[in-house]
Chain A
Amino acid sequence: MKKMGKLRSELGRFMGKIEETYSAYKSVMTYYFVNGFNNETKSMAERVHEKESEADEIRREIIAELVRSDFLASTIEEFMHIVELSDKIADAAEKSVDNILCKSIDSSKINIAVLEEIVIITETQLGILKRALDSLFTDYDIAVSGAVELEVLEHKVDLLQRKQMWELLEHDMPLCDKMYFRDFIERMAVVSDIIEDVGDEIEKIAVKRRL
């Protein structure tokens, strides 16, 4: 079915744009941890906004196509939900970048290595998510095992987040700084949570249709 092939290809393009958004986000964070806030940070942050807008545009196209399509009602509903949820990944990365710029956080007071690891794991999750979503069009079992992998990685991010929080609590910085950093770390980790949520939706679709 040509239309199914087109949907698969558009979803792949959409997830690719989400990956680009996150990749731009990773570049900003990596630069920021080393160099702090300057004009280059600002211009790199702008790229995150651009990529997020491009992802939004593709999302709207996919939704419009789904509404016009003659797919089964359940298929339309499920993919609209996946697309809306996946869009939150790019939104969360964008908000996290804005958070740094607004608050001008002094990153020298926190464990950068842990934060970098969170970003790397999250980037890996995105790649797995893209493959799991594509697998709905080839093999449900692969989609389900992809969703399981995402859960495992999200748990790792959770543990790293908790570790960073404990270090924060034991630090002698003022309370307001601790609250800033807590917020900052949560915004970084939430992207992994959202990816895992999308993975759960993919798993539900695959399991429901296998029955």
Chain B
Amino acid sequence: MLELLLVIFIGWSLGGNDAANVFGNAVANRVIKFRTAAITASVFVVLGAVIGGGKGIANYNSFVIVKSDNTSMIIIFSAAIIVTIMTYLKIPVSVTHTIIAGIAAAGLKNGAFKTEPLVPIVISWVLSPVGAAFLSYFLYRMFLAYVKKYINNIEKMENFVKYGFMIIGIYGSYSLGANNIANVVGIFAHDKRLSINEWAFVGSLAIALGIVTFSRRVMDSVGKDITQMTNIGALIAVAASSTIVLIYSFAGIPVSTSQAIVGGVIGVGLSEGIRNMKVSVILKIISGWVYSLLFSGIGTYLLLCILGG
């Protein structure tokens, strides 16, 4: 029962923070109403988690250094607190980072710290935003070269932007569910009390709850603040980051959608000219990731000392 509550807590906080990575630009620029975005994201996060999240959930136990129920609960609790606070402060944060920091802290506390299980995830911290940046840069150049000339009046532009944001939003929500469900339930799913699909369903409902009730705060932060992007640029950034996240879900490695979208936005920004990017905002977001790592690691360590694990 306690594990279920923690799954709901972490899922809710993840939904509150990460939905902005998919629909943030559309809602902030008033292309799509928040209510429509929240409902759409919720439905497709659940589908993504159930249909595409199995490999990540099954794989997750290989990242966990200290395999103990008590330790797992403390890790998740600590991570959920950090993510909730960061969401309240409107800072996009990586749920993957916070959980991995907790796993590493648990390893340190128990004198069992090992780097090998965490290597694939840490590598993904570099490769996912870089990959998203490259992909968005490439997609944007392709768009300018081959597609732009067909969108030559206001009506076509309106249709392209509105339908584009909805389609990409659906795609992004699906990949968010497929990849990040492992962060929500992966640490508990090894005990086979529920099947992987059942875990995925429960966890994704928690994410959906977070999207509907708590995601509005972060939606303005992503995209709009880093660079003044056109609607097309925002579309491409989300498409690129969602693709990278989906690729990692096929590999069974949970990645940070927040990192991926920042990479996507940077790629578009580089296409439009580096002088348009607000480096200070990028640094602020990166520092948010570092703080979430530190606070989650320290928080987990302290909780383990107090509660034992």
Binding between chains A and B: yes
Min CB distance A11 to B, Å, is 11
Secondary structure dominating the interface of B: helix
Q: A72-B30, A72-B31, A73-B29 are contacts. A209–B157 as well, Cβ < 8 Å?
A: yes
A75, B158: Cβ atoms closer than 8 Å? yes
Question: Does B161 sit within 8 A of A, measured CB to CB?
Answer: yes
B-contacting residues, A66-84, CB 8 Å: 71-73, 75
- With the chains together, A139 CA to B154 CA distance in Å? 8
B191 within 8 A of A: no
Residues 30-71 of chain A: 1 if any B CB is under 8 Å from the residue's CB, otherwise 0?
000000000000000000000000000000000000000001
Task: Point out the residues of chain B lying under 8 angstroms from A211, CB to CB.
Answer: 230
Residues from chain A with a CB closer than 8 A to the CB of B278 are none
A-B pair number, CB within 8 angstroms: 36
How far apart are the CA atoms of A210 and B153 in the complex, in Å? 9
Which residues of B from 8 to 56 have beta carbons under 8 Å from A? 29-31
A residues near B141, Cβ cutoff 8 Å:
none
B154 touches A137 (CB 8 A): yes
| A71: chain B residues within 8 A (beta carbon) | 158
Which A residue's beta carbon lies closest to that of B149? Answer: A210
Tell me the nearest residue of chain A to B161, going by C-beta: A72
Instruction: Evaluate contact between B148 and A72: CB separation under 8 angstroms.
Output: no
Q: Cβ of A138 and Cβ of B153 under 8 Å apart? A: yes
A75 to chain B, nearest CB (A): 6
| Cα distance A4–B158 in the bound complex, in angstroms | 9
> Which residues from B are CB-within-8-Å of A73?
29-30
Nearest-Cβ distance from residue B46 to partner chain A, whole angstroms: 27
A136 contacts B by Cβ under 8 Å: yes
Q: Which has the most chain A C-beta neighbours within 10 Å: B29, B148, B157? A: B157
Interface string of A123-144 (1 = CB under 8 A from B): 0000000000001111111000
Instruction: Contacts A72-B31, A72-B231 given; indicate if A136 touches B153 (C-beta within 8 A).
Output: yes
Interface size on A, residues (CB 8 A): 17
Q: Does residue A1 face the partner (Cβ distance < 8 Å to B)? A: yes
Residues of B within 8 A of A4 (CB): 154-155, 158
Partner of A1, one of B152, B158, B230: B158
A135 to B155, CA, bound (A): 11
Contacts of A75 in B (CB 8 A): 154, 158
CA A203 to CA B181, docked complex, whole Å: 48
Q: How far is the CB of A28 from chain B (nearest CB, A)?
A: 36
Contact A139 B230 (CB under 8 A): no
Q: Does B159 have its Cβ within 8 Å of any Cβ on chain A?
A: yes
B148 contacts which chain A residues (CB < 8 A)? 210
Within 8 A of B (CB), among A182-211: 205, 209-211
Q: Mark A92-117, 1 if CB is under 8 A from B, else 0.
A: 00000000000000000000000000
CB <8 Å contact, B153 and A139: yes
Question: Which of these, B152, B154, B161, contacts A141 with CB under 8 Å?
Answer: B152
**Cβ of B155 and Cβ of A1 under 8 Å apart?**
yes
A140 to B153 CA separation, bound complex (whole angstroms) = 6
Which B residues are in CB contact (< 8 Å) with A139?
Answer: 152-153
B154 touches A136 (CB 8 A): yes
Residue interface bits B239-250, CB-to-A below 8 A is 1, else 0: 000000000000
Expressed in whole angstroms, the Cα–Cα distance for A141 and B30 within the complex equals 27
Q: In the complex, what residues of A have CB within 8 A of residue B29's CB? A: 72-73
In the bound complex, residues from chain A placing their C-beta under 8 Å from that of B152 are 139-141, 210
Which B112-154 residues have a C-beta within 8 angstroms of A? 148, 152-154
Closest 9 CB pairs of A and B: A73-B30, A4-B155, A136-B154, A138-B153, A140-B152, A139-B152, A137-B153, A209-B157, A137-B154
Some 22 contacts from A to B, beta carbons below 8 A apart, are A1-B155, A1-B158, A4-B158, A72-B29, A72-B158, A72-B161, A72-B162, A72-B231, A75-B158, A135-B153, A137-B153, A137-B155, A139-B152, A139-B153, A140-B152, A141-B152, A205-B154, A209-B154, A209-B157, A210-B148, A210-B152, A211-B230
